Structures are given as structure tokens and as C-alpha cells.
Amino acid sequence: MNTAARILALLFLSAFLLTACHTAQKYVESGDYDSAIELCIRKLKGKPKKKLEYVQGLELAFRKAQARDLATIEQLKAESRPERWERVHQIHLDIRSRQNKVAPLTPLVAKNGYRAQFQFVEIAAMERQSREKAAEYLYDQSVTLLERAERGDKMAARKAHGMLIDLQKRYYANYRDKDVLLAKARDLGTSYVVLEVKNQSGKLLPRGFEERILAFDKRGLDSEWREFSFEAKPGLHYDYKAVYKVRDIDISPERVQERSYTDEKKIQDGWDYVLDRRGNVMKDSLGNDIKTPRMVFIRAEVLEVHQTKAARIAGAVEIRDALNNNLLETCELATEVVFENYASTFRGDERALSQDSKSRLGNRPLPFPQDADMLVQAADRLKPDVKEELRRSRAIL
């Protein structure tokens, strides 16, 4: 490396170190003490000769961070508000983390002999106290919310459930009768919905029709706080009734429409020889027979049969309060099943048939479906619509 390159490298290194020190100082001046601590630790860890700037920077940032956090804790405790213990506990965790990062570097001595001073606090007892107090607060709040939930406030039960989960994850996996309260919150917070179908059309439905409409997979319907049942379970208090009311059933007569028509076409059918006046076949200049295309008209008589029958079901999904039977939401739902069949035959020359006529050849008249079978098909078509309406209902909390 030549002299100019060495000088350039030294200048770059000096600029980098100055920038690093300046950054640590900026962190401290802005109150971001933990970032300053992280930076200084990176610069000091593993270095046999500790730079004074980083030793003093770590000492200063640590002292200020500790003083700030301990003052905040005292202020929060002075407020005497139980909800502050969650914040106090988090600060205790921050202090523990900070001390654990700095402790491995102690005793910390700069290369010029300067020895940094760090005041560590006995955090274990403080942390135990704040953890217990924070858990106690969440527990007491959950008990209060569950008392409201027992009077019908489902949102309170769900909030209590969230607090108990928070207690479990952040503080104690096992705490008093937490599991009992969790189960209670789950039950009180869940909206239980029973499903049914009612026939108000005045017409007889085929056997199993009601069950057919509700024979869908509940996946995507049940959710964290909703549980649907196809029939009422003994002893379970239901919050909502979801009813599909069949109000109108219309089955059309079996209709058969016949239509006949004729397809005609002019086609070439062989050749005619050109004769001279003596009746001989005329020849061209090469000696070949002279002939002309023979054109003929052909026809085919087509008989077409069109069969139709339709079944329509109309009704509405109603969401009702199970306790008072109050109507909360309604949505009209209807569907139609159509049977349609074309049958076509012909007499005459098949070559005369149009492409449209050819496309319907080969079909035969079919037996009309039974009314009951069409209604069952209609039930199958209604199933996804009923399920989707229940899934997106805003009346069910």
C-alpha cells in the first residue's frame, strides 16, 4: 500500500470513529439511552483496549437510563392506580435486560486506566412484586367484567377472556382459578345460534327437505365467538334463532311444445354431359368430355319437441333474539330449478339439415322430473345462500 492510500485509509477510519461517537452522543442527547448503550457495547465487546469515549459513553447512558426508569416507576406507584402495574412491570423487565447486557463487560476499564462505575439495582424482588400486582389487576378486572357478562354483556366476557390470556402469557401460566374463569368467559362471550327451517307456504314439502337446506359444512360459519347448531342441545342457552321461512312454492305444469319446419338446400348431384345436335358427347380441345354440374333441391322435414318444467322456492332468512323472539334482521332468498330438454327428429335427406338442426339431433324426449325431486334440487341450491347470509349477518354479535 503506498503512502497516499495509507493516509486515505486512516482518514476514513478516523471519520468512521468520529461518526460513531457522535451518534452515541446524539442518542444520549435525544434521550434514547438504550440505543446509545447498544452502540457502545458493540464497540467495546471483545476489544482488549477499550476506547475511553465508549467507556464513558456507556457509563453515562446507563446512569441516565436507570435514573429515568426508576423515577418513572416511583411516579407510577405514587398514582396508586392498579392499572399502572403493567407499565411498572414492563419497565422492570427493561431494567433487567439492560443490566444483563452491561454486566458481562464489568469491570470496565478504558485503555488509559479510567474505570467506569455502574449502579446495578436488585431487580428480582422488584420484578416479582410488579408481576404479582399486574397479574392481580388483570385478574380482578376479569372478575368484574364477568359479573357484567353474567347480566348479558357478551363484549365484557370477550374482554375478560383477552385479559386472562394476557395474564397467562405475560405473567403466570397458572394463576388462581384462571382456567375456570377462562372457560366461563368463553361460554358467556360466545353467541350460540340454533338453525331451523319453517314451511309457511301452505304446501307439502318432501320428506327431509328441511334437513337438506341445513345440510352444509359449518366450516367458515362458526368463528371464535359464534357457534351454530342444527338442532337445539338440551341445557344450552341459545342467544339467537336463525330461521329460513319457506313462504312460497311454485311448480309449473309440464309443458311440451312441438315445432316442425323444413330445411332445404341446393346441392350438386353428379354431372350432365353436353351433347351436340346429333346427340353425341361434345369434346373440348384436349379431347375430354364436356360436362356440367347437375344441381338439385333436397329437403328434410324436422320435428322438434321442447320440454320444460320449473320449480321455484321463495322465502327469507330471519335472525331473532332467542330470549324475546324480536326480529333483528331479515333477508329474502329465492331459487328456481328448471328442467329443459330438446328432442329432434327428421325425415328426408340429411344433407339438407342446417347446422343448428344437426346440433339437436339425437336427443330423445325424457321423463319429466318429479315435483319432490325438483324441490330437493332447489334445497341444494339454497344451502350456500343461507350459509353465506348467516356468515355475514351483523345481527349476530
Spatial separation of the C-alpha atoms in residues 293 and 345, rounded to whole Å: 31
Spatial separation of the C-alpha atoms in residues 6 and 208, rounded to whole Å: 92
Does 4 score more than 60 pLDDT?
no
Least confident span in 99-103, 182-186, 273-277: 273-277
Average pLDDT, rounded, for the chain: 88
What are 136-170's pLDDT values in tens digits? 999 999 999 999 999 999 999 999 999 999 999 99
CB atoms within 10 A of CB 153: 17
Domains and CATH numbers, the chain: 19-121 (no CATH), 135-189 (no CATH), 191-397 (3.30.160)
CB 50 within 8 A of CB 111: yes
* Residue among 162, 259, 222 nearest 396 (CA): 222
Least confident span in 141-145, 242-246, 258-262, 264-268: 264-268
Higher pLDDT residue, 20 or 127?
127
In this structure, the dihedral spanned by the alpha carbons of residues 321, 325, 328 and 334, taken in order and rounded to 10 degrees, is 110
Read off the pLDDT of each residue in 346-364 and give the average, rounded to a whole number: 84
pLDDT value at residue 138? 97
Contacts of residue 35, Cβ cutoff 8 Å, sequence gap at least 6:
27
Please report, rounded to a whole number, the percentage of residues in the chain having pLDDT higher than 90.
60
What are 96-105's pLDDT values in tens digits? 999 999 999 9
Q: Name residue 266's beta-bridge partners.
A: 297
Does 3 score more than 80 pLDDT?
no
Q: What distance lies between CA 278 and its chain's CA centroid?
A: 93
Residue position matching grid coordinates 400486582: 133
What are 29-80's pLDDT values in tens digits? 888 899 999 999 999 998 899 999 999 999 999 999 999 999 999 999 999 9
Higher pLDDT residue, 360 or 143?
143
Q: Is the peptide bond before 206 cis (omega within 30 degrees of 0)?
A: no
* Residue among 366, 362, 364, 344 nearest 300 (CA): 344
Spatial separation of the C-alpha atoms in residues 49 and 62, rounded to whole Å: 20
Spatial separation of the C-alpha atoms in residues 119 and 95, rounded to whole Å: 12
Does 13 score more than 50 pLDDT?
no
What are 306-347's pLDDT values in tens digits? 999 999 999 999 999 998 999 999 999 999 999 998 888 889
Spatial separation of the C-alpha atoms in residues 374 and 310, rounded to whole Å: 8
Q: What are phi and psi of 145, to 5 degrees?
A: -65, -35
